[in-house]
Amino acid sequence: MNKQLIVEKTKEFVESKLGGEGTGHDYFHILRVYKTSVYIGQKEHADLFIVKLAALLHDIADWKFNDGNSDIGPEISRQWLTSIGVDNDVIVSVTNIIRTISFKGGTTDSSQDTIEGKVVQDADRLDALGAVGIARAFAYGGYRKRELYNPNIKPQKYKDFEQYKNNVDTTVNHFYEKLLLLKDLMNTPSGKSMAIERHKFMEGYLDQFFREWDCIEID
């Protein structure tokens, strides 16, 4: 099994599926998660073959764009990896990571049992933070036709995945319901260190957002 060839073929496969996607879950998101996963994986002595494949395939069919179906991503990944001759034990490891990586409003157990899963989850969560994370949040909010912000709609703590899937919310609330929680959910020392700066940037952004929203600068 030529691991490098498998990784390159998988990159081409993912780009063919996600290239040009407009909600922030595009191929460039995949590449950022891939690069960050490799960086963290090297520091954490993870199996980089599993890390690379899981990073590349983690959003191949996100439940958010498939009627809440959490099984379609792992299944497409399994079919693809089988078709290019990847060993079954690797496929199982990769699909297990994909199946459990998502935050899902904090309503499901997304904890990772392997260092590879922890690495890829940290990399994916890091891409939801900082300047890129802000841009992705508003891109997805636009796709969902969410209001930017509405002071009459308060952030929620969701009881279950069904409630989270069907929520009516604003993009700014999403910062408080998910994005600002991620720093303290990082698995690895490297992920935690990288999350601190991005978290602070988002806090500064929100401070400025509310100053402008309330026209404080005009007073």
Q: What architecture does CATH give domain 3-218?
A: Orthogonal Bundle (1.10)
Q: What is the pLDDT of residue 164?
A: 67
Centroid of chain to Cα 166: 19
Domain ranges of the chain: 3-218
Number of alpha helices (DSSP H) and beta strands (DSSP E) in the chain: 10, 0
Amino acid found at 99? R
> Cα(12)–Cα(19) distance, rounded to whole angstroms?
10
Residue carrying structure tokens 């309503």: 107
Q: What is the pTM of this model?
A: 0.91
Structural contact between residues 41 and 124, judged by C-beta atoms closer than 8 angstroms:
no
Structural contact between residues 32 and 127, judged by C-beta atoms closer than 8 angstroms:
yes
Phi-psi region of 195 (alpha: psi -120 to 50; beta: other; left: phi over 0): alpha
**Is residue 207 classed exposed, middle or buried when 0-12, 13-18 and 19+ CB atoms within 10 A define those classes?**
exposed
Nearest CA-CA partner of 59 in 83, 76, 80: 76
Nearest CA-CA partner of 179 in 169, 188, 171: 171
Tens digits of pLDDT across the chain (219 residues): 699 999 999 999 999 999 999 888 999 999 999 999 999 999 999 999 999 999 999 999 776 655 556 788 899 999 999 999 999 999 999 999 999 988 755 555 678 999 999 999 999 999 999 999 999 999 999 998 999 999 999 988 877 666 766 677 899 999 999 999 999 999 999 999 999 999 999 999 999 999 999 998 776
Taking the CA atoms of 199, 65, 18 and 104 in sequence, report the sign of the dihedral they define: positive
Q: What is the DSSP string of 95-140?
A: HHHHHH---GGGTS----SSHHHHHHHHHHHHTTSHHHHHHHHHHH
